[in-house]
Amino acid sequence: MFNRFFPDEYVASTYVIPFEKLYEEGYRGVIFDIDNTLVPHGAPADERAKKLFRRLKEIGFASCLISNNRQSRVEMFNKDIGTKYIYNACKPSIKNYIRAMEIMGTDRTNTLFVGDQLFTDVWGAKRAGIYNILVQPIHPKEEIQIVLKRLLEKIVLYFYKKEKAEKKD
């Protein structure tokens, strides 16, 4: 029942994802959410984020940010990153996941998505047919509508972890 919302992978942080390995596996584009995926909500790009985007470029990845935030927020984060971006993305609508792939020159088979929310980020990526990685939120301070969604996410993640444990046995 909940498995339609299960991520392809669930990791502690964007910053532990083995992007070199994923590139070797054939991935060429990475779409990122911003808030609580790369930096705390509303924060500018920090050194860790800047270093990640330099690393991705060195590996050979194209990248694109897609955010439900306004243009000013996305541009403020992207000022020191310098990647492609889409603001007011209306996630989980698949339209801007597809647009991001067009911008990067990639397709469903060689693009991955990284985000911190199941019902917007992961659900949209799954519906667009993109490999997706859910990361734990960077910071606990969030807007009230996200706090409410997190309660539902806990239920889905309980069943996700249970299924993963059963497959290991």
Structure tokens given for 19 = 């992007």
For residues 125 and 97, the answer to whether their CB atoms sit within 8 Å is yes
Whether this prediction's pTM lies above 0.75 is answered by yes
Q: Where are the alpha helices (DSSP H) in the chain?
A: 19-24, 47-59, 71-78, 95-104, 123-127, 144-168
Query: What domains can be seen in the chain, in order of their start residue?
Result: 3-168 (3.40.50.1000)
For residues 85 and 78, the answer to whether their CB atoms sit within 8 Å is yes
Structure tokens given for 20 = 């070199």
CA distance 136 to 109: 25
Q: Give residue 42's region: left, alpha or beta (phi > 0; psi -120 to 50).
A: left
List the pLDDT tens digit at each of the 169 positions of the chain.
Answer: 678 889 999 999 999 999 999 999 999 999 999 999 999 989 999 999 999 999 999 999 999 999 999 999 999 999 999 999 999 999 999 999 999 999 999 999 999 999 999 989 999 999 999 999 999 998 766 665 666 677 778 878 888 888 888 887 6
